[in-house]
Structure 1
């Protein structure tokens, strides 16, 4: 079994993988040593672990994990992955973006892929049919758009994920909610159409917090894999794990 840890700017996600299946998942604000200790006790078959983080993890917790698994991998720029990384500045590439691309490639190898992660930011990344990570674009996520409209103006209210939206808003709140939702829908559909026109048929993946919200609103064939980053990190761990090798350090 594998232990997969993805520490983002806001939350720490922990998953236990049995092959390609998630058998346990937890989301909390901080990664704690007691929680990891309990997890390793509950799943004694865990023998490998991968840690991806955008912030400094608790060193004591990381050291505890290192001592209790046979193979530990910190996912950093330069870590080998089963894709050719053509990004011009790989040292600045978000680990979650590359991990999601690896996860999508593991599901649909040999196809032109478009990976759309709908979280705090919206990332739209491409993988070629030859297995090349080509890069992508970043724009504000839904919550960030609502927050920006509220904070950067004097009188617009703070809105959140709406139950309904309209082509023409009939109140200020409805106009904000509809404008943000429809803006994201048109943005996504525009990328799918324009990239598809140049590169042929695309296999499109949705991931991230707002994936399910937009899945039935974007009128394109898509695959929704909420935990695509977790699955990609697990694939990267498997790719790097070799019998009797030393831990891979940053």
Structure 2
């Protein structure tokens, strides 16, 4: 079995897959927050995992912790590169691109081949990236995620409250909580729609914890995909030209 891990800024997501299995065909999957990290080993079989592929954007301390927990010594720490699985990385410095963004683009392209797409991952930060129909990763945008936007307003203003993401009634907000959330959602959706128009995209592949709240606000064609980074890691694990990063 292959253990796939997406170690993000807030949560660690994982999946178990057989080598060569179809994308998203996982034997098991789950997620924990950073404070629940010690629960991870109990979620994984301690035998039968022959390889782990990890995208870590949460820093060296978490990498060291995961290294001790993963029940195999065959660990690939996924990194962005100039080319993989037919996708060309056009970042000025390909290695500087966040490995999670590279994996998400790889997964989205595998699900929607031959189409110009926008890949929006809506987590602690929102990343919005463009992939051409020919398979070029062109670059993208990074902005504060939905929760960070709301928290910044609550922290830096005297009388605005902290609000949580939820479904909103249609139309203009008639109370402060809804007005804050409406503004933050509009900013997220507006950035995605601007990128969509700039790229001339056919579809936006949308993922991340805030995606269910942002999706209803979008006026462009979109597809929700859970755990797009794990999907990309699975694609990378099966790619004939993948080597340890």
**TM class by smaller structure:** 0.7 to 0.9
Q: TM-score, normalised by structure 1?
A: 0.82
Q: Does 1:153 align with 2:157?
A: yes
Contact 2:83 2:89 in 1 (8 A): no
Change in CA separation of 1:8 and 1:101 when aligned onto 2, cut-off 3 Å: same
Question: What per-residue deviation string (whole Å, max 9, x for no partner) do you get for residues 47-71 of structure 1?
Answer: 2210121212353652564x736x4
Question: What per-residue deviation string (whole Å, max 9, x for no partner) do you get for residues 15-71 of structure 1?
Answer: 112312122112123486774376133xx5432210121212353652564x736x4
Contact 2:126 2:143 in 1 (8 A): yes
Question: What per-residue deviation string (whole Å, max 9, x for no partner) do you get for residues 115-157 of structure 1?
Answer: 1111111111011111111110111211111111111212211
Q: TM-score, normalised by structure 2?
A: 0.84
Give the superposed CA RMSD.
Answer: 2.7
Q: Map residues 27-176 of structure 1 onto 2, 5 A cutoff.
A: 27-30=31-34, 35-36=40-41, 39-41=44-46, 44-54=47-57, 55-56=59-60, 57=62, 59=64, 61-62=66-67, 65=70, 68=72, 71-78=74-81, 81-82=84-85, 83-176=87-180
The gaps in structure 1 that reach 5 residues or longer are: none
Q: Give the 4+ runs in structure 1 shifted more than 6 A.
A: none
Residue correspondences, number: 237
The gaps in structure 2 that reach 5 residues or longer are: none
- Secondary structure of the residue aligned to 1:138 is strand
Once residues 193 and 79 of structure 1 are traced to their aligned partners in structure 2, the CA distance between those partners, rounded to angstroms, is 26
Change in CA separation of 1:37 and 1:175 when aligned onto 2, cut-off 3 Å: closer
Q: Does 1:226 align with 2:226?
A: yes
Between stretches 55-64 and 131-140, larger displacement belongs to 55-64
